[in-house]
Every structure is written in C-alpha cells, then in structure tokens.
Amino acid sequence: MEKRKMVNDEENRLKQERNSNNSGISPDNIKSKKAENYSKEKINERKTRSRERISRTEFNLRFKAYFKSRLFRDYGYIIFAAFLGMASYDYFIASTTSNGITPSGIGAIARGIAIGIWPEKNELQIQTSMYWVFYFVFNVPLFIFGVIKVGIRFSFRTIVYIALQNGFHFTFAYIPVINPQELFFIVNYSSLNFFTNYGGMYQIWLFVFAAVAGILNGIAYGLVYKGGASTAGTDFVFAYYSAKKKISIANYNRIVNYIIIVAMLAIHTTLLSRSEITSIYFGKDWAAHIDQIKELGFKIDEGGLIGGDIATHKIKYFFGPALFASYLFVVVQTIAIDIIFPKFKYRSLMVITSKGDAIVSGLQYVHYPNDIVRIPARDHYEGNDINNEVIIVSTSVLEYKKIKAAIVVSDPDAKILSYKLDKIIANYKVDKY
C-alpha cells in the first residue's frame, strides 16, 4: 500500500508539471527562479503583455535623445558624402569640359547655365565654381518646400550637405597641386586633341570618367541618405510624394533625370557655334588643318563647318558619346545608391514585444501611414513561455530610420526582424474591413 501511494504521488506530481507548461517547470519554480538567470524586474517585464501606453511628452524626449545619440555618426556620413560629391563633379564631370558629361536633376540645369555663360576651356575654373553657386541658389525654393512638407531636421541636414559641397569646392579649387586644374586622377581630359582621330572628343575616356563619377556620386548619395538628409533638388519632391502616396517612385525619379539630361543636352547642342562643333570633331587646332579636312570631303572655311555639315555633326554630337556617357553616369550612380541605401524600396519589420500598445502609440506619434498587424504570441525564452505580441509593419527605406526609432523608443527591449520586400500589393482602407 505504501509503495502504491508513492507511485500515485509521483504520477500526480508529473501530471501537474505537464499541465503547468511545456517546459516541465511549475509556476512556483518559474517565480522562484534564481537571480543569476533573471532579475525580478526582467521576469515581470517579459512575463506578460503590458497595456501601458507611452505619453507623447515622454516619447518626444526619448525620440530626441535617440537621434541625438547618433548625431555625430550622421553628420560624419554627411561630411564625407559632401566631399565625395564635390570630387565627383570637380575632378570627373567638370573636367570633361563643356562638351562632356551632363549630371542629373538640378545639377544638369546648373551646369547647362554655367557652360552657356563660360563655355571656353580657359574658363573652366570659373565655370565649375559658378555651377556650385547656381546649384545652391536653384535649391533655395526646394529648401523651403522641404521645410514645409518634409520636415525641418531632414531639410536642415540637406542644406548643410549642399553648403559643405560648396565649401569643399572653394577650398580645394585654390589649393596648389591638388586643385582640379593641376591634379588629374586618370588623364588630363581637356588636353585630349587628336586631329588624326576624327571625333577627337569621342574617346573611351569619356565613359571611364562617367563610370568613376557615377560610383563616387552614388556612394555620396547613399551616405547622405544614411545621415538622414537628401541631395536636395528633386529629392525633396520625390521624398514627399513617396511618403504621401506610399509608393515607390524610383522609376519616375530616373525618368525625370533622363528627360532633364536630354533637354539640357539638346539646348547645348543647338547653341554650339560653328567653331565649337568643328573643334569637337577635328580638335582645337582644326584651323591649321582646313585643307586636310576639305580633302576628307567636309565643307569648311575659316569660321568652321558650313552648310549641311553643321546640322549633320550636331545630330551626331547629340546622339553621341556625350549623351550615352551621361546616361551611364546616371545608371552607375543609381546602382551604387541601391547597394548602399535603396531609398525607394520597402522593408517589413516584425517586432516581438511585450509593449504592443506603447509601440502603436509611438508609431502614431510619427504619423506612420500604413496598417499595423498585431498578433498575440507566446515567446519561448530560456525554458519559459512568455506572453508577447508580434507586430508587423512595412515602411520605405526612406522612412525606415524614423519608424525604427519610434519602435526602439517605445520599447527598448523589443526584438526587430527586418526583411526586404520586392513590392507591396495593397489598397488598404479601413472601411473595407
């Protein structure tokens, strides 16, 4: 009898442990778990879901502290990006002279105007300097748009980026030996002048310069986005509508850049004088080879090409290396940006938390625009089953830092799993559900 009683007691004890949880540990054992594994506060925090919401005042204080702790890193990105952007234009784009590479966006317009006023090779330094001045001035209305529509912090950092680019240019432009007029990383492009090679400007060097400039500019753009700023220009508009419409507009961004390049190149081609179009194809000393050019079958006098040869060579110029090298610059730049910071791509965040209500409040405070999926879950953590929630949200990379900050500030102990998304297929409206 005594032996049977002991067996029954053991069976009842095991049955009780199995019913308590899957780990074989009774609730009493969980409560009495030693301090070296969990602090009392940690057990209570992770043990069950909390319905506490974070106040707006507390959230704002934590939010500012979060970004303040990353301030030096962000501005480090912006400073280095400004230097790379300056080097890309001064040493590789501007150095291809007035008939070389056309950058994208507002930069194409600024370069076009600078070239129109100072087209000669001996004016390259002032042409480059005035490009940066025009680029800053043309962005002033867009700075105002950014402050109103996008946000003061984003806009201020962008202004800092553009100002630093101007500062780097005017610093390096007048330093002996390392200024763009004396230091050539690949080749002195402006010195290329081969009369025997018909179409002297049409060298492989133009495409090499475009590729290198695209890589440097792409890295600069990626870093400036990581620093919580933009490259100004049309970026302000695209950033605003990407967030407002909740769609990726990378394709529209590229199309607009291509259209601007074509328009500026068309204007530049139209304004080319007889002498300029002749020097593009027959070298800057073409006047010394007029008889040889005539023997090749071209109509020319002391002022340059004449008659139909002017129109023919302008068409060749427009559809020539200057156009395709500019497109190569944009393509390489886009690839480099997408590797470092694919700003128009989307990410899905799966958050494991015990403070779901607090996170939802934080997302609402930063005006998170999409739906928030909340799934009750049991988190098995070091032998314990803990009541948690899984929250799923989606955001563009452009807004990723803000959304991530809102989650971390609302629950510093939350686990965030980030996934890349190809696209979001949805037309979400509350009234449909």
Pick the CATH number of 345-432 from 3.30.70.120, 3.40.50.920, 3.20.20.140, 1.10.8.50: 3.30.70.120
Residue 179 phi/psi, 5-degree rounding, is -75, 160
Per-residue pLDDT at 44: 44
Per-residue pLDDT at 49: 67
Per-residue pLDDT at 426: 61
Longest CA span, the chain: 128
Q: Which letter, b or e, does each residue of 192-226 get, where b requires 16 or more Cβ atoms within 10 Å of its Cβ? A: beebeeebbbbbebbbbbbbbbbbbbbbbbbbbbb
Lookup result for tokens 């037309």: 427
Q: Which amino acid is at 215?
A: I
Q: Which two tokens stand for residue 384?
A: 């314990």
User: What's the CA gap between 389 and 384, in Å, rounded?
Assistant: 15
User: What's the CA gap between 159 and 224, in Å, rounded?
Assistant: 11
User: Under the phi-then-psi rule, with left for phi > 0, alpha for psi from -120 to 50, and beta for the rest, what region is 233?
Assistant: left
Cα 227 to Cα 76, 212, 312: the distances in Å are 8, 23, 48
Q: How many CB atoms are located within 10 Å of the residue 361 CB? A: 18
Residue 327 phi/psi, 5-degree rounding, is -65, -40
> What is the full DSSP assignment across 344-413?
TSEEEEEEEES-HHHHHHHHHHTT--S--EEEEEEEEETTEEEEEEEEEEEEEHHHHHHHHHHHHHH-TT
Residue 395 phi/psi, 5-degree rounding, is -155, 150
User: What's the CA gap between 350 and 58, in Å, rounded?
Assistant: 24
Q: Which amino acid is at 222?
A: G
**The pTM is what?**
0.71
* Residues in contact with 83: Cβ distance below 8 Å, sequence separation at least 6, in sequence order: 164, 168
> What is the full DSSP assignment across 108-160?
HHHHHHHHHHS-SGGGHHHHHHHHHHHHHHHHHHHHHHHHHHT-HHHHHHHHH
**Cβ atoms of 418 and 349 closer than 8 Å:** yes
Q: Which two tokens stand for residue 93?
A: 């784009």
Q: Which two tokens stand for residue 22?
A: 């899957």
Per-residue pLDDT at 39: 43
With 0-12 / 13-18 / 19 or more C-beta atoms within 10 angstroms meaning exposed / middle / buried, residue 240 is middle
Q: Which two tokens stand for residue 328?
A: 């190569």
Of 302, 316, 297, the C-alpha closest to 274 is 302
**Cβ atoms of 173 and 179 closer than 8 Å:** yes
Of 412, 271, 293, the C-alpha closest to 351 is 412
Per-residue pLDDT at 86: 93
With 0-12 / 13-18 / 19 or more C-beta atoms within 10 angstroms meaning exposed / middle / buried, residue 398 is buried
User: What's the CA gap between 332 and 219, in Å, rounded?
Assistant: 10
From first to last of the 433 residues of the chain, give the pLDDT tens digit: 554 555 455 555 545 544 444 444 444 443 444 434 434 444 444 445 677 788 888 888 888 888 778 888 889 999 999 999 999 999 889 888 888 888 888 888 999 899 888 887 778 888 888 999 999 888 888 788 777 776 787 788 888 999 999 999 999 888 888 787 777 776 666 666 555 555 545 567 888 889 999 999 999 988 988 888 878 777 767 766 666 655 555 566 677 888 888 999 999 888 888 888 888 777 777 777 788 778 777 888 888 888 888 888 888 888 888 888 999 998 898 888 888 877 667 788 889 888 888 888 888 888 887 788 888 887 776 667 777 888 888 887 777 888 888 899 888 888 888 887 766 666 544 443 3
Per-residue pLDDT at 78: 93
**Cβ atoms of 219 and 77 closer than 8 Å:** no
Q: Domain-by-domain residue ranges, the chain?
A: 71-340, 345-432
